[in-house]
Structure 1
Amino acid sequence: MPQHFLLSPKAKTLSLVKIMRMSEEEARKAFQGLRWPETDGEPICPECGCVEHYDLKTRPVWKCKGCGKQFSATSGTTFHSRKLAIRDILAAIAVFINGAKGYSALQLSRDLAVDYKTAFVLLHKVREAIENAREAGALKGDVEVDGAYFGGYVKPANERKDRKDRRKLENQTGKRQVVVVVRERGGRTVTSVGKTEAEGVQLVARTVERGATVHADEASHWDRLAAAFPIKRINHKEAYSKDGACTNQAESFFSRLRRAEIGTHHHIAGAYLGAYAAEMAWREDNNRVANGYQFVMAAGAAALGGKSERMCGYWQRRA
């Protein structure tokens, strides 16, 4: 029997030990190489683009000869204004990558001996960076669409006589959200968060190329897709795959997201649900990519991306 890719040596090219044995200077050089590959890691001023600079002896920063601004290796990146050592940030990205079903902020806070909020913000910045760096463009070929609900859990009463029908709107919390996934077979995965699964019709219209074949279940709102796309429907009461129609890859995404919710994070609802969904979409799309290359992708996305729009105001309670 052939060995599964994830168990093979080709899948394991990232060494956390090597990262933790780096000095801070070596880690900074590595980050510079990811941020400024065109100059082989030599600093470029993020304000004016000048390559001429002074090295400050008191701190690991530079002063631009063009505009006079001081900047560091992380200035203007996803980790702008960071306080953690760059080696610790690279180590955090490494353990984030190796978590097949995600990596919790509580566990990272223990691993790095930092406050929970520090770990929480750091991981969300990594999620935002990889989400922003993902390839754009319309999905083609065979595309699967489905939705699943998260959050808004209502705990049932202890005694049977006190329990209410949680399917009714008046007995719900109003916090329930749906993640809609549109997944190209052998290609990319796109996610969106909304109140109802029917909002996925517009998501398909925005992200799927005309002429692509859409696979969906028997939910009535997907009927509207037939006016614009060739569509195949699958009735899950009869089978999971029949006559070439199935949504198994969309279900695979939800399986990973559910396992991340149940086994790793325990709570992924609310304002951050979209970030967790985007992370799992990225993991699904790269599940046959060596972890060393995934690390370069994530660290490079953070180095080349701008300041975090979602998390930069977290400490001022704006996020």
Structure 2
Amino acid sequence: MRALTIRPGRPGSLSVAEVPDPEPGPDELLVEGLALGVCGTDREIAAGEYGAAPPGRDRLVIGHESLGRVRHAPPGGGFSPGDLVVGVVRRPDPEPCGACAHGEFDMCRNGRYTERGIKELDGYASELWRVETRYAVALDPALADVGVLLEPASVVAKAWEQVERVGGRAWFEPRTALVTGAGSIGLLAALLGVQRGLDVHVLDRVADGPKPGLVADLGAAYHHDGLDAAVRAARPDVVIEATGAAELVFGAIGSTAAYGVVCLTGVSPAGRNLTVDAGALNRDIVLENDAVVGSVNANRAHYAAAADALGKADPGWLGRLVTRRVPLDDFAEAFDSRPDDVKVALTLGS
């Protein structure tokens, strides 16, 4: 079968290769790959910035935003041939820390976890793949065209869970939310905020293209004239930061109403200096009982919550998030970021 593979750490080594067909174990599904979402993590791996091949090998099958259809399922595993499924990305370490042992491998304390398509485990960018039944998530057939959104939606579901858990340390009844960044993570964060009944505002740099319309059709407010203007309009109780841009990160931390919660989901590049009034920032956080929390990855429960959220969303709106579909043979186009991109998907079938 064909798969999209890379030699981690070597820019320009991404290529379609013939690899052996997977042989599922007794508790594994054999899945026909349908599509794969491409995100910033994949582009960074393609650029040689990180990633790790399975032990004893020099190439990694890339891809973690999966979508497939079950071809073979073991009896009693809860799946049947024809089911639409997504594979969970992370696996707990072999000698699990306390969090991993309790199913919260997204909160691994010792860093020895592995990740499909990223760290020491082959990913889902192949015509066939296998996955353990306990790490497979069934999707409503109505989501067949947008199932690649489940993995990013799981990250967002976790972010909102973290906001609610942190806010729950005292009386917490947020009314407004500001999402910084209108990529797939930001737009899905806005979707889940609207589903929670919040007045949602979204900030991005662009004034045209698909993003303003996508936000408006959620019933949310779109801003492109800078953080200060967005904060004045929103007066946010919650901020979901989805860009990783250092200026926005620190601006967001200082922008919430009293007892605000900021959840950082974007990863900032290292090596860039920024002048920050740390004293004023500290003063605001302390005197207003604010909280800042980082959130990354997701566990099985977050995937289930994300599947529920996508199932409640307008399918037409979700379909507009997938702004480009690229055949596997033309994979390089999918890794070329374009201004109007929200989510790019590789199609894996013939």
Q: TM-score scaled by structure 2?
A: 0.28
User: Which structure shows the higher helix fraction?
Assistant: 1
Q: Rg: which structure is higher?
A: 1
Greater strand share, structure number = 2
TM-score, normalisation: structure 1: 0.30
